[in-house]
Amino acid sequence: MSTSDFITSGLRTVAMEALAVSAMTPSINESFSLACQTMLACEGRVIVTGMGKSGHIGNKIAATLASTGTPAFFVHPGEASHGDLGMITKSDVVIAISNSGNTAEVITILPLIKRLGIPLISMTGDPKSLLSQTADANLDVSVSSEACPLNLAPTTSTTVTLVMGDALAIALLESRGFSAEDFAFSHPGGALGRKLLLRVADIMHKEVEVPRVTPDQPLHDALLEMTQKGFGMTTIVADDNRLLGVFTDGDLRRVIDQKIDITNALMADVMSSNPRTISREILVAEALTIMESAAITALIIQDEDHRPVGVLHMHDILRAGVV
């Protein structure tokens, strides 16, 4: 095959699968609504099962449900017949996936599911199949043909099934009022979870790590404090530890440009008043936005009594994986 042949084949597959997804609209019907209502009423977990390629898609559907507020997991139908059926309780709902609707391993466990009185939702390509007829709600995922030129390898049919699973998950997510913060609690290890959950108090430097000098101290003392603490800045505080100002590397360049006598200068003469501060309770992602808009690399964390209680540096945000 030439380069153009590969491109033509790829475009044909994309077009066929896009057309099949577009043709799903009639399948989002009363049965779809019944399936959603059944899953919302579930007091246990949603158990997804399927064999072969349907099983791989089922695994992904279960993962999507679980991460969007619907407790779910995948059970292999073959293993279910050899002990794993014990994972399913009377409080659960089962979603069984089979393109033919007659997959032997799935059909075998249907009587056991029915004996437990568990609601059954099916996803099949044949509404007249045994699985479809047994289910309380059948979701039609039929396709006119597979993208495979032999019309054998599950391609278009698995895409349509995956989209149906996504449709269920999003409908349930919206019904539950599932928020971005809820999503973050399901993804605490990812960058998105850290952006939505990590607060300044979790990673800020505090107590003795906060650089401090008083306004009557010489600039030389401030430079030593900045070097020792390593934030490129120091706070200037009153005797009662109230924040009065800040002195940064940028302020030092300004002092030099203005030819101020750095040997005799006091902090009261060179500090910047009204420094930019933040609360320890805000999200680190919000602090990053403030840094970027102000073109600074460190922020002072101030409490309700206007006392500096911490410092957050851009490096801390990078180490936390928020960026």
Give residue-wise pLDDT tens across range 230-265.
999 999 999 999 999 999 998 999 988 988 888 889
Question: By residue range, what is the domain housing residue 68?
Answer: 3-178
Which tokens in the block code for residue 289? 């936005």
State the Cα–Cα distance between residues 306 and 320, nearest whole angstrom: 27
Whether 169 is in a domain gets the answer yes
- 120, part of any domain: yes
Q: What whole-number distance in Å separates Cα of residue 107 and Cα of residue 96?
A: 9
How much is the pLDDT for 170?
Answer: 94
- Is 218 found in the same domain as 98? no
For residue 303, tell me if it sits in a domain.
Answer: yes
Same domain flag for 225 and 303 = yes
Do residue 124 and residue 231 come from a single domain?
no
What is the mean predicted confidence (pLDDT) over 115-130?
94
Compute the Cα dihedral for 170, 173, 175, 177 and give only its sign.
negative
- Tokens read off for 76: 């292999």
Which contiguous run of DSSP H or E holds residue 173?
helix 156-176
Higher confidence at residue 322 or residue 134? 134
Looking at the fold, whether 205 and 130 belong to one and the same domain comes out as: no
Residue 226 binned pLDDT confidence (cut-offs 50, 70, 90): very high
From the number of C-beta atoms within 10 Å of its C-beta (0-12, 13-18, 19+), residue 106 rates as buried
- Kindly tell me if the per-residue pLDDT of 26 is higher than 90: yes
Whether residues 170 and 214 share a domain: the answer is no
Q: State whether 151 and 207 are in the same domain.
A: no
Question: Residue 310's pLDDT is what?
Answer: 95
- For 71-96, what is the mean pLDDT? 87
| 186 domain residue, yes or no | no
The angle subtended at Cα 214 by Cα 209 and Cα 220, nearest 5°, is 85
> Is the pLDDT score of 284 beyond 90?
no
* pLDDT-wise least confident of 2-11, 56-65, 82-91, 225-234: 82-91
Q: Look over the chain and give the mean of its residue pLDDT values, rounded to a whole number.
A: 89
Structure confidence at residue 180 (pLDDT): 60
The CATH number linked to 314 is 3.10.580.10
Establish if 167 belongs to a structural domain.
yes
Residues 141 and 205 in one domain: no
What is d(CA 157, CA 154) in angstroms, rounded to the nearest whole number? 6
Residues 6+ apart with CB under 8 A from 106: 49, 50, 51, 77, 96, 97, 98, 131
Contact 211, 235 (CB under 8 A): yes
Query: Would you state the pLDDT for residue 261?
Result: 85
Each residue of 152-177: pLDDT tens digit? 788 999 999 999 999 999 999 988 87
* pLDDT of res. 186: 56
Tokens of 208: 């003795």
- Split at pLDDT 50, 70, 90, the class of 181 is low
Q: What mean pLDDT do residues 79-107 have?
A: 88
Q: Phi first, then psi: what are they for 276, rounded to 5°? A: -75, 125
Does 217 map to a domain? yes
End-of-domain residue from the set 120, 144, 178: 178
List C-alpha distances in Å: 200 to 61, 91, 204. Answer: 35, 41, 6
Q: Is the pTM of this model over 0.85?
A: no
Q: How far is CA 99 from CA 146, 187, 207, 215, 293, in A?
A: 11, 32, 62, 76, 53
Whether residue 174 sits in one domain with residue 34:
yes
| Range in 72-86, 135-149, 221-235 with the lowest mean pLDDT | 72-86
Which two structure tokens, joined as six digits, stand for 282? 């805000």
Span 78-88, mean pLDDT?
78
High-pLDDT (> 90) share of the chain, %: 65
pLDDT value at residue 179: 61
pLDDT band (50, 70, 90) for residue 320: confident
Q: Are residues 211 and 285 in the same domain?
A: yes
Per-range mean pLDDT, top range of 86-90, 184-188, 246-250: 246-250
Q: Please give the average per-residue pLDDT across 299-304, as a whole number.
A: 94
Whether residues 137 and 73 share a domain: the answer is yes
Same domain, 225 and 173: no
Specify if 189 maps to a domain.
Answer: no
Q: Are residues 128 and 249 in the same domain?
A: no
Here the CATH number for the domain that contains residue 114 is 3.40.50.10490
**What's the token pair of residue 227?**
């070097």
Last residue of a domain, one of 143, 178, 213: 178
Query: How many Cβ atoms are within 10 Å of 181's Cβ, its own excluded?
Result: 10
Overall domain count for the chain: 2
Could you give the CA distance from residue 58 to residue 77 in angstroms, rounded to a whole number? 11
Helix axes 156-176, 3-22, angle to 10 degrees: 50
Please indicate, yes or no, if residue 32 is contained in any of the structural domains. Answer: yes
Q: Is 221 helix (H, G, I), strand (E, B) or coil?
A: helix
